Chain A
Amino acid sequence: GAVVSQHPSRVICKSGTSVKIECRSLDFQATTMFWYRQFPKQSLMLMATSNEGSKATYEQGVEKDKFLINHASLTLSTLTVTSAHPEDSSFYICSAERDNGYNEQFFGPGTRLTVL
């Protein structure tokens, strides 16, 4: 299957700082990537759809100024959590869409963010 990487896998930061998470599709080009958030023992909640070369589409209730998404190339999307606070601590997972007949999403391994 296709490979999607995320970096970093784990990050601890102080409240008020910004954190950038990278999502890369390693062996295919992805016009569309997705960012999800998962709280402990809960499901994945879609935050935004990232489209190469255009602005991201955010889901209702997601602050676009807080969660900046940049999809600068067909293999890289970044999520920046600006002025992070403890309530932003979560597991962030990206996925990259590949047109293999049913637009399968290939998921990255996730990034665990802890804001102190």
Chain B
Amino acid sequence: AQKITQTQPGMFVQEKEAVTLDCTYDTSDPSYGLFWYKQPSSGEMIFLIYQGSYDQQNATEGRYSLNFQKARKSANLVISASQLGDSAMYFCAMREGHTGTASKLTFGTGTRLQVTL
């Protein structure tokens, strides 16, 4: 079974609108972390936001927020007020185990977001 599933290969959003990128995960480990990365065409991976499995509140970082629904094992990324520069590939990733242990990341297949005028 896939550990990280991103079901939207591509998404379009109009500038200034909000968009939600879906991510579901599968783990039996009670301790895990969820990450979202942005990869523009240049190839670099840009960290956006992090959610720990024990965090009580949904993570927020500027225009990015993470809709964490633990019972449904989903960690959707919400981008508010989309900008043209948000056009990129977005990856959801998971690290299993406690902080301090081997922190391998497993990535989803990604969602390509295109922001239009």
Contacts and interface: CB of A to CB of B under 8 A. Distances in A.
Classify the interface of chain B: helix, strand, loop or mixed: strand
Interface residues of B, number: 24
Contacts of A46: 104-106
Interface string A38-70: 000011111001000000000000000000000
Contact of A101 (B91, B99, B102): B99
Contacts of A93: 43, 45
B50 interface: yes
Given A43-B91, A93-B43, A103 B110 contact: no
B42 A102 contact: no
A44 B103 contact: no
B36 interface: no
Nearest to B46: A107
Contacts, number: 58
Given A43-B91, A46-B105, A102 B52 contact: yes
Given A1-B47, A110-B44, A105 B107 contact: no
A95 B45 contact: yes
A7 to B, nearest CB: 14
Interface-centre pick from B43, B52, B109 (highest chain A CB count, 10 A): B43
A56 to B, nearest CB: 12
Contacts of B109: 42-43
Contacts of A101: 99
B42 A97 contact: no
Interface in B30-65: 33, 35, 37, 42-47, 50, 52
A97 B108 CA distance: 20
A29 interface: no
A54 B100 CA distance: 18
